Amino acid sequence: MSAAPDVSARTATRGGNRWLILAGGVLVQLAIGAVYAWSTFSKAIQADPSAIELTPVQATLPFTVAIGMIFVGSFLGGRAQDKRGPRIVALVGVTIYSLGIMLASFTRDGSDLWMLILGYGVLGGFGLGLAYIVPIAMLQKWFPDKRGLITGIAVGGFGFGAVITSPLAQQMIAGSEDYQQYPTKVFLWLGVAYLVAGVLGASVFRDPPEGYTVPGSAAPAAAVQADDTATEAAADAVVTDDAKPAPAHNAAGHDFTPKEALSTPQWYLLTLILTISVSAGISLISIAADTATDVAGFTAAGAATLVGIMGLFNGGGRILWAGISDKIGRMPAFLGILVIQGVALLAIPHAGNVALFYILAAVIYTCYGGAFGTMPSTAGDFFGVRHAGAIYGLMLLGWSIGGIIGPMLISWLVGEDGAYVLGYTVVGILALAGAILPFITRPPKHPDRTAAAA
């Protein structure tokens, strides 16, 4: 009679320290999240002492390409970790990301823009995507009891990356005439730091053992289902390949495969919600330093400090909104994210003083991060966690599309004339229009696998 509890206890013990794995996930996300400090580098590259002469649109290209490449990396990483395990995928990802940043350090003038795009954009974005998706999918399996909060913390680390990088990079650039002339040189040392931090974090990654349960919690879902009705047992037998023990299921009680998820309208609605939120928030992120100086009169150092501090709200928003969504529901949370973000974007070009600008920027960054903190657990609720890496990895297409649309749209609208009111009004309306989507998005019903098999 004591066999089942003993097995559960042994399973939990073999699982290892899930909090150490969480710490490793946050460390990896901190390293790759430094990508959000780009506006600090963009401003330095365009400053008068710099020998790297780029137009505002050209200066957004490395960041835009990086965000665009994230989907490629996350798509492949989500599928690869299901087959190869999380550790090797994350190690490869942080290595490629770091080497890409180091390559960008050799950019010396405008003719080397291709190198900046290749290193920071293509390699950096691809490696970032590989590494980013791993802890999100992995930690949902380790923390079935805290899925929303834990994924919020994991991606919160990504938002905090710029908190460290932006003021550090600004200090390095300001403290050296050589770096003022060639701001990209700082990428060499930053790339080395990212590599060390990323490798240390990824080295502890692993999936929980089959049948893992949280110590002190109920037995795995598969064990409970073994005592269900004969009809349910027969249905489980038909789908043996997809019925391996999993710590949690979606609202329909089943884990969708990637193909099944893609056959539902809900996958596309969730991806569209993410796309709109990203497009809106990243419009500010991509030109935050320029907007701060031109609209609210920040100094260059003050703008860099702003970018760093806003990383706190980007990261904190991921945790905050993930926790809120656990209490009020996922779709009400997305409604709040889009509406609040949209209103703040409409107001920010009119923020003529530092204090008001800080408040509005903090709201936008918090909501922007909130979408990333809430979406992984939403996807888990809708489609289950067994194939979370592949399904959410595909969903990050919205990040890449939004990451391309947002920076390019805002830089084109603002232009060299500084038409900030026009630019932020357009993206603010875009966010408000997207608020209709949470009203029509509901969890999907799982297809009848038994009927399909027959």
Average pLDDT taken over every residue of the chain: 82
Q: Which range, 8-17, 76-85, 276-285, is most confident?
A: 276-285
Q: Which range (136-140, 154-158, 234-238, 302-306) has the least confidence?
A: 234-238
Per-range mean pLDDT, top range of 13-27, 43-57, 151-165, 410-424: 410-424
pLDDT band at residue 250 under the 50/70/90 scheme: low
Q: Are 405 and 352 in contact, with CB atoms under 8 Å apart? A: no
Q: Are the C-beta atoms of residues 267 and 381 closer than 8 Å to each other?
A: no
The residue type of 98 is S
- Give which of 125, 130, 407 is closest to 287, Cα–Cα: 407
Alpha-carbon gap, residue 132 to 160, rounded angstroms: 14
- 269 residue type, one letter: L
- Is pLDDT above 60 for 54? yes
Higher local confidence (pLDDT), 343 or 35: 343
In 3-state terms the chain splits into helix, strand, coil percentages (rounded to 5) of: 80, 0, 20
pLDDT for 217 equals 57
Residue 223, both tokens: 């064990």
Report pLDDT digits (tens) over 105-118.
998 887 888 999 99
Write the pLDDT tens digit of every residue in 345-384: 999 999 988 999 999 999 999 999 999 889 988 988 898 8
Res 14 pLDDT > 60: no
- Between residues 176 and 269, the one the model is more confident about: 269
Q: Which residue has the higher pLDDT, 164 or 334?
A: 334
Average pLDDT over residues 232-252: 38
Each residue's pLDDT tens digit, 415-428: 878 899 999 999 99
DSSP of 230-243: HHHHHHHHHTGGG-
Q: Over the stretch 303-315, which tens digit does the pLDDT of each residue have? A: 878 887 887 898 8
DSSP designation for 117: I
Output 449 or 43, whichever has higher pLDDT: 43
Whose structure tokens read 């180091």?
Answer: 102
| pLDDT at 410 (0 to 100) | 92
Q: Pinpoint the alpha helices (H) of 33-123.
A: 38-46, 56-84, 86-104, 113-116
Task: Please give the model's pTM, rounded to 2 decimal places.
Answer: 0.72
Q: What is the pLDDT of residues 188-220, one digit of tens each?
A: 999 999 999 999 999 999 988 877 777 655 544
The pLDDT-based confidence of 396 (bands split at 50, 70, 90) is confident
Look at residue 15 in the predicted model and tell me its pLDDT.
52
Mean pLDDT of 40-55: 81
Give the relative orientation of helices 330-347 and 265-286 as an angle to the nearest 10 degrees: 30
Q: Averaged over 119-140, what is the pLDDT?
A: 90
The counts of H helices and E strands in the chain are 23, 0
Calpha distance 340→317 (Å, rounded): 13
**pLDDT at position 349:** 95
Are the C-beta atoms of 120 and 69 separated by less than 8 Å? no
pLDDT tens readout for residues 144-169:
777 777 877 877 788 788 778 888 88
Q: How far apart are the first and last CA of the chain?
A: 38
CA angle 408, 409, 414 (to 5 degrees): 105
CA–CA distances in Å: residue 382 to residues 79, 254, 274, 375 = 19, 9, 15, 10
CA triple 107-110-116, angle to 5 deg? 40
Phi/psi at 52 (nearest 5 deg)?
Answer: -95, 95
pLDDT at 249 over 70: no
pLDDT at 110: 79
CA proximity to 339, closest of 439, 268, 441: 439
Cα distance between residue 283 and residue 269, in whole Å: 21
> Residue 188: its pLDDT value, please?
93
The percentage of residues in the chain with a pLDDT greater than 70, rounded to a whole number, is 86
Percent of the chain with pLDDT over 90: 38
Burial classification of residue 443, based on how many CB atoms lie within 10 Å of its CB (0-12 exposed, 13-18 middle, 19 or more buried): middle
Whether residue 241 has pLDDT greater than 50: no
- Give the tens place of pLDDT for each residue, 280-298: 999 998 888 889 999 998 9
Q: What is the predicted pLDDT for the residue at 216?
A: 58
Q: Which two tokens mark 60?
A: 């957004």
For the segment 46-50, the average pLDDT, to the nearest whole number, is 80
